[in-house]
Chains A and B, each alone.
Chain A
Amino acid sequence: MKLKELESWLQDVQGFSAPRILLEQYQTPPHIAARVLHTAQASFKDLEGKMVADLGCGCGMLMLGASLLEAAHVIGVDIDEGALEVCQENLTEAEVDNVELIKADVTRMMKDQPRFHKFFDTVLLNPPFGTKHNPGTDVAFLQTALEISHGAVYSLHKTSTRTHIVKKAGDWGVKAEVLARLRYDLPNTYKFHKKASVDIDVDFIRFSRQK
């Protein structure tokens, strides 16, 4: 599937009707999600026929895209009931059946669900950046992702944290490849946002084990 076509499908994904600020809920912008997913498949063949996870799946943008790019099976995990409801609707609307959702705490996954250790071929995530009184959440999410994947992990992190993230990866014996620097243009999601939109520089990173 071409990038443009994928992006067009993802534009139909419904966002959060009442996003929860403390969970940093917002829809991954469709053009960003399409770029991440298309690269994962076209450049690295990490989606088609693979067992894929989407950690903090929110409204399902990444997991839907993975399914459209012919992942064999996609499992999305989120802690929030509201997000899972929207996600389930989006998946039903898109008529994809090779998907599943689990309500769970991603940061507790290895304690609670040890059988998922190295279960997935590829893990995708657009983690909370930890801007709302929960610093370190993106690293905790990334750590879980690396534990449950025996292959690659694709993640998005604020460019301002790049040095920190790359160093962490090194500490864990994992290679971090910054594939692109993208710009989030988040439309006014929450009432308190004064500006019409917020620009954030975000790194799209591929993590894999050192060979």
Chain B
Amino acid sequence: MKLITHNMLTSKGIKNVKEGFPLKIQADEVKNVDIDFDQDFISKMVPKLDWNALIFAAQCVGHKEDLPDTLPEGYENDEDLLRKLHHILLEVEVINGCLECPETQRKFPISNGIPNMLLNEDEV
């Protein structure tokens, strides 16, 4: 699971959960990969992201480094920032661990890089 996907995942399907976002990451095993930088692609992705959730996730996996706490204006032209975003969103993979619902503490396991978001019948 990469952090781009984490930024989208919620536990909102669980009954009585209001937001279910962001999910807390417990990362037992993390892998780094090399992905070609596509400035245009990263730039277009930014408006879809929840910035606070991204910073939270980066902290969970120990990669917050020098990402700013808030998204600066003019980010589209800030190659340096976009490269950092590229790295944190696409090049850091949680291989084993779990995601945790902030409201119910229900855990979603991550194994072999794949988060299991399936809910049981009695949860929905």
Q: Is A88 an interface residue (CB 8 A)?
A: yes
Q: Which of A28-36, A104-112, A122-130, A194-202 contacts B (4 or more CB under 8 A)?
A: A104-112
Task: State whether A103 and B118 are in contact (beta carbons under 8 Å apart), knowing that A75-B5, A97-B33, A97-B34 are contacts in the complex.
Answer: yes
Task: State whether A104 and B117 are in contact (beta carbons under 8 Å apart), knowing that A88-B112, A97-B33, A98-B90 are contacts in the complex.
Answer: yes
- DSSP majority for the B interface? loop
Give chain B's interface residue range (CB within 8 Å of chain A).
Answer: 20 to 34
Closest beta carbon of chain B to A146's beta carbon, Å: 17
Q: Which of B6-14, B63-71, B74-82 contacts A (4 or more CB under 8 A)?
A: B6-14
Give chain A's interface residue range (CB within 8 Å of chain B).
Answer: 20 to 34
Which A residues are in CB contact (< 8 Å) with B114?
84, 88, 101-103
Q: Is A113 an interface residue (CB 8 A)?
A: yes
Q: Is A116 an interface residue (CB 8 A)?
A: yes
Which A residues are in CB contact (< 8 Å) with B119?
108, 112
Q: Is A51 an interface residue (CB 8 A)?
A: yes
A37 and B3 CA atoms in complex are apart in Å by 27
Closest beta carbon of chain B to A23's beta carbon, Å: 13
Q: Is B45 an interface residue (CB 8 A)?
A: yes
From 120 to 147 in chain A, residues with beta carbon under 8 angstroms from any chain B beta carbon are none
A114 and B7 CA atoms in complex are apart in Å by 12
Q: Is B98 an interface residue (CB 8 A)?
A: no
Do the beta carbons of B41 and A72 come within 8 Å of each other? yes
Q: Is A79 an interface residue (CB 8 A)?
A: yes
Q: Is B1 an interface residue (CB 8 A)?
A: yes
Q: Is B73 an interface residue (CB 8 A)?
A: no
Q: Is A73 an interface residue (CB 8 A)?
A: yes
A102 and B90 CA atoms in complex are apart in Å by 15
Would you mind naming 13 contact pairs between A and B with Cβ atoms under 8 Å apart? A49-B38, A49-B41, A72-B41, A73-B90, A79-B118, A100-B4, A101-B113, A105-B118, A112-B12, A113-B12, A115-B10, A116-B8, A119-B8
